[in-house]
Amino acid sequence: MFRERGRDTPFRDAMKSPYAAAQQGRFIDMRHALTAFMAAVSLSSIASAQNAPDSAAQPLTATASMPAQSAIAADVAKDLDGMMALYRDLHASPELSGQEVNTAAKLAKRLKAMKFDVSEKVGGTGVVAVMKNGNGPVLLIRADMDGLPVVEQTGLDFASKVRTKTPEGVETGVMHACGHDTHMTAFIETAKLLVARKDEWKGTLVMILQPAEEVGKGARAMLEDGLYNRFPRPTHAIAFHDAANLEAGTIGYTPGYALANVDSIDIRVRGLGGHGAYPQTTKDPIVLGSRIVTSLQTLVSREQDPQDPAVVTVGSFQAGAKHNIIPDEALLLLTVRSYSDETRAKLIEGIKRISRGEAIAAGVPEDKMPLITVKDEFTPSTYNPPEFAEEMAGVLKGNFADGRVVKTPAAMGGEDFGRFYRADKSIKSFIFWVGGVPADKMAEAKANGAALPSLHSPFWAPQADKVVSTASEAMTVLALDILKKN
């Protein structure tokens, strides 16, 4: 999700995640807890029925006496074993961006079995599954499929051992280090729950499995391949992402900008090389590059409104090959983050201005001005229309216990789900977070500042049972509200 690309590192000793030992038993504990909860509900319902004046005239079952939300939770609890089997399979067999062939095929097969009208190879390896159920809204539900070029070090018994080559030819391990395996698992369960409840909703489901989110190209590819022309155009769109900063099972939502514009920018600083002993005969691109790096810091600290956050980070400075040689060129690699299109344009223009200005100050001739390249990896910001976000948050708060649904600040990470809204701003769009940090690890971090693995970390092992069960229930509840029959 967060556009910084992991570099593959040699897999030395199998390092154990701080989550790994406890993780193996959590699924069983949660399944037992859910079963106990449903038993308690059943006993309470029976007791109420026995005390009711007319209980004999109209027998009650536990399911019939529960509100719809509890019935959904009960079905999720029953399906948890199957969900976790799918999750483990997906986790152990990740595929890189644009290479999600087997992942797409196995999930498309499940959707076909549920009687969706399934189209494959949309925008590359994308899958579109449509189910029409009368007149009504058109709801797009999306999950992303790709893994990352990361060597997994969680210590889980179903950890990925997959190795492959990147498009650049670099051999690497592959890992679902951003939790897309939880996204896909909850997506399949949501589809199953909604199919089972066709008598409770009217409209059209457009469920999409999107490739290449991690490189910011998948949503665009599906749109360019006719997503809104070949298939029903959505009136609403929802998705979720697992979170490495929220306790497992907690739902976070952000009205307005939720995630940032993400740009990758290269600055090729050109000079005149020569001997390190005679710098006066050169135009040193390392010194010039250093000036550019320093001056770029003022774009945010002195030119940007403090209430309109932005980030300009130089992540790489490459130059030279020997101690006593001043090179001809230096290369700066930047990541640039913003929320609005106006701020994005201002930052890019500022990078060009500062680079050129420092080169002029250094006496670089016109034909040697720095070359600025804005890479074709742009991920646009993700925006939750505030009124709709609050409406959806209200639905979630009405379903989950107090404190389970919280408002969260906008993040500087990137997520190309925002493209589906930007392609048609009449769409009511909402992406939310589902926490994946085990409660004991979160408490430990709060108590003593213990570091928690982030998304894209080789150690990220979310408490998957809570993520997929919470997300499945949340997505189903939201879908039934959007597609309600009234």
Looking up tokens 């490495």 gives 244
Under-50 pLDDT residues of the chain: 2-18, 27-28, 34-67
Give the end of a domain, one of 374, 406, 422: 374
CATH number for position 251: 3.40.630.10
From CA 367, how far away is CA 372, in angstroms rounded? 14
pLDDT of residue 359: 98
**One domain for residues 32 and 171:** yes
Beta bridge partners of 117: 130
pLDDT of residue 51: 35
From CA 438, how far away is CA 478, in angstroms rounded? 25
**One domain for residues 251 and 268:** no
| Domains in the chain, number | 2
pLDDT of residue 68: 52
pLDDT of residue 49: 34
Burial 337-362 (b: 16+ CB within 10 A, else e): bbbeeebbebbbebbbebbbebbeeb
47: left (phi over 0), alpha (psi -120 to 50) or beta: alpha
CA dihedral sign of residues 218, 224, 229, 233: positive
Give the end of a domain, one of 374, 404, 438: 374
**One domain for residues 254 and 265:** no
**One domain for residues 93 and 215:** yes
pLDDT of residue 6: 37
pLDDT of residue 47: 34
Supply the pTM of this predicted model.
0.85
Closest CA to 253 of 401, 388, 408: 408
Could you say which DSSP state residue 57 is in? T
**One domain for residues 205 and 227:** yes
pLDDT of residue 388: 98
Closest CA to 146 of 129, 116, 167: 167
**One domain for residues 307 and 423:** no
**One domain for residues 78 and 181:** yes
From CA 216, how far away is CA 82, in angstroms rounded? 31
| pLDDT per position as a tens digit, 131-142 | 999 999 999 999
Q: Which domain holds residue 150?
A: 20-53+60-259+381-482
Give the end of a domain, one of 320, 345, 374: 374
pLDDT of residue 63: 39
**One domain for residues 365 and 286:** yes
